[in-house]
C-alpha cells in the first residue's frame, strides 16, 4: 500500500506582489507595490444539522501578509448585517454570538471581505465572499 505524503500548509507572511510604475508626462514616475495572494475565509461553523439553539458563528478570515481589520469585514446573519462581532487580527478568528434562541430550520451566514489598506510593504487589496447554511433541529 503506497504511503500518503503529508503536505504542510502554513500561512506565509510573504505573499506575491506586483509593482506598478506610473510615468507622468514630465518624466516623473511613481511606483506602488500591491500584495496579492488573496484573502481566505475558512473554518466556518456551525454547518450541517445542529441541536443547540443559542449558537456562536465562527470563521477564520485571513489576508496573506496580514493587514485586515474588523472594518474590512461584513457579517450577515439571515440576511441582516451584524456589527457586534469579534475579530482578532493576530489570529484571524471571527466570532459572532447570536444571542437569541434560534427557531428550528435553516439559517444563512454570509461573510464579505473587502480590503484596501497600506503599510510599509505595499498596499493590500482584494475581496472574498463566503456563504453557508446550517439547520437547527429540535432536540
Answer for the pair 68, 40: CB distance below 8 angstroms, yes or no.
no
Boundaries of domain holding 129: 37-136
**Looking at the predicted structure, is the pLDDT value of residue 83 above 70?**
yes
| Amino acid 64: pLDDT | 79
Q: Can you give the CATH number for the domain in which 55 is found? A: 2.60.40.1220
* 77 within some domain: yes
* 10 within some domain: no
* 107 within some domain: yes
**What's this model's pTM, rounded to 2 decimal places?**
0.68
Measure the CA–CA gap between 105 and 112, rounded to whole angstroms: 23
* 103 within some domain: yes
| Helix or strand run (H / E) with residue 42 | strand 39-45
In tens, the pLDDT along 94-132 reads: 999 998 889 999 999 999 999 875 554 455 568 899 999
* 18 within some domain: no
* 12 within some domain: no
**Looking at the predicted structure, is the pLDDT value of residue 30 above 80?**
no
Largest Cα span, the chain = 73
* 7 within some domain: no
User: Domain total for the chain?
Assistant: 1
| Mean pLDDT for the stretch of residues 70-88 | 97
Phi and psi torsions of 70, nearest 5° = -60, -30
| Mean pLDDT for the stretch of residues 1-20 | 43
| Amino acid 111: pLDDT | 97
* 125 within some domain: yes
Amino acid at each position: 500500500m503506497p504511503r500518503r505524503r503529508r503536505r504542510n500548509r502554513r500561512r506565509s507572511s510573504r505573499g506575491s506582489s506586483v509593482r506598478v510604475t506610473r510615468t507622468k508626462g514630465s518624466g516623473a514616475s511613481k511606483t506602488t507595490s500591491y500584495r496579492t495572494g488573496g484573502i481566505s475565509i475558512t473554518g466556518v461553523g456551525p454547518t450541517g444539522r445542529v441541536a443547540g439553539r443559542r449558537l456562536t458563528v465562527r470563521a477564520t478570515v485571513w489576508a496573506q501578509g496580514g493587514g485586515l481589520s474588523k472594518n474590512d469585514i461584513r457579517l450577515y446573519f439571515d440576511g441582516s448585517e451584524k456589527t457586534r462581532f469579534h475579530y482578532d487580527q493576530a489570529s484571524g478568528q471571527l466570532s459572532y454570538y447570536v444571542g437569541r434562541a434560534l427557531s428550528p430550520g435553516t439559517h444563512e451566514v454570509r461573510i464579505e471581505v473587502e480590503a484596501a489598506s497600506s503599510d510599509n510593504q505595499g498596499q493590500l487589496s482584494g475581496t472574498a465572499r463566503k456563504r453557508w447554511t446550517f439547520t437547527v433541529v429540535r432536540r
